[in-house]
Amino acid sequence: MLEKPVSKAKERVRIAVDAMGGDFAPASEVEGAIWAQRENHNHFDTVLVGEKEKIQLELDRLKAKNSSLIIHHASERIAMKDEAVKSLKMQDSSIAVGMKLLKERQVDGFISSGNTGAVMTHALMTLGRLEGIQRPAIASFLPTEKGIVVILDVGANAECKALNLYQFAIMGSVYTNYIFKKQNPRIGLLSIGEESTKGNEVTLVAHKLLSEDRSLNFIGNVEGRDVLKGTCDVVVCDGFVGNIVLKFTESIEGYLTWLVKKRVKESILFRLGAFLVKVSIRDLRKVLDYTEYGGAPLLGVNGVCIICHGQSPPKAIKNALKLSAEMVREDVNQRIISALQNRKIVQPIN
């Protein structure tokens, strides 16, 4: 058993990292944890969960022998190809062990760049849902003309009921308020038209629920073209649509880079301005770089859980650790519970 974590009242928390999860594990996870420790050594402790010998080899390779990182051994590793439900049998996997540490409050948060389905399944089965939450949602971040927009769900729920979308809005509002410090964040419901009469049956009922809640800053329906304009601070949709929006956005930088290179080869004018274009592309990459945000929180489960990209480099792991610690300090989950308790909602048919 790990030592008892330092009290959060002293602004020091303990975060567990699935050291065997990502495509480059444990190298990226260990190096990212070292970066986070160097930048935030007075703010949180990090526990690396996974095969002890492999983790230690990485620490030695990076010459971090004096590191205060804690290693917690887990003998199994869930592969990306493993089915989420079947992974529940692997009770000594790095994901399962990390979730147990979180449930037992030996750590305050858990991050993983491993199998997303397995992370969600273990989180639901081990941690359970927050009181009042029907379905958890993955919240991701996108850059806009006016800053950052939080979009949820981006993959946890392919199909949703209106009540789910309504609860996503509440969770997204709380999260955006306390993590991005946006007071009374504007909430938009993603649909096929701005009018309240546009959308499928679930969207129509969700619009009614959101409109009736005066404590939410609901601005109405938003269309796909509004997302990157910064029309709102929180975009609500089901996981099927949200995942498509997220993946499409991730492709923008690659397409624009290809387009510019193509034009440079075709036009002497473009070649003359190649240097300035190169600088612009570099800036664009930074804006669209997911590693700046670390990972996507799984909101609605009874514990702080961050899901990272499978190819997360050390920078993403470092920032995911910082995000996880911030969620713990801001007590986001308890604030979500309180927000739900203050609302008396009769569950609609859809």
Domain ranges of the chain: 1-133+300-331
The pLDDT assigned to 289 comes to 65
The count of C-alpha atoms lying within 13 angstroms of the C-alpha of 25, restricted to the half-sphere facing its C-beta, is 26
Cα–Cα distance measured from residue 329 to residue 12, given in angstroms and rounded to the nearest whole number: 8
**Across residues 119-136, what is the average pLDDT?**
94
On the question of pLDDT at 324 being above 70, the answer is: yes
The pLDDT assigned to 292 comes to 75
On the question of pLDDT at 341 being above 50, the answer is: yes
**Helices and strands of the chain, counted as H and E runs:** 11, 11
Label residue 5 by pLDDT band (50, 70, 90).
Answer: very low
The pLDDT assigned to 4 comes to 45
Token pair, residue 117, equals: 């389905």
Has this prediction a pTM greater than 0.75? Answer: yes
Cα–Cα distance measured from residue 302 to residue 22, given in angstroms and rounded to the nearest whole number: 23
Say how far residue 13 (Cα) sits from the centre of its chain: 19
Contact 290, 309 (CB under 8 A): yes
Q: Which residues pair with 71 in a beta bridge?
A: 48
Find where tokens 């609609």 sit.
348
pLDDT tens per residue across span 16-60: 999 998 889 899 999 999 999 888 766 788 999 999 999 999 998
Contact 156, 171 (CB under 8 A): no
Percent helix, strand and coil across the chain, each rounded to 5?
45, 15, 35
**Across residues 236-245, what is the average pLDDT?**
94
Q: What is the CATH number of domain 1-133+300-331?
A: 3.40.718.10
Question: Percent of the chain at pLDDT above 90?
Answer: 61
The pLDDT assigned to 304 comes to 96
On the question of pLDDT at 344 being above 80, the answer is: no
Contact 152, 168 (CB under 8 A): yes
pLDDT tens per residue across span 76-126: 999 888 888 888 899 999 999 999 999 999 999 999 999 999 999 999 999
Centre a 10 Å sphere on the Cβ of residue 158 and count the other Cβ atoms it contains: 12
pLDDT tens per residue across span 255-310: 777 877 777 676 666 666 666 666 666 666 666 666 777 889 999 999 999 999 88
On the question of pLDDT at 75 being above 90, the answer is: yes
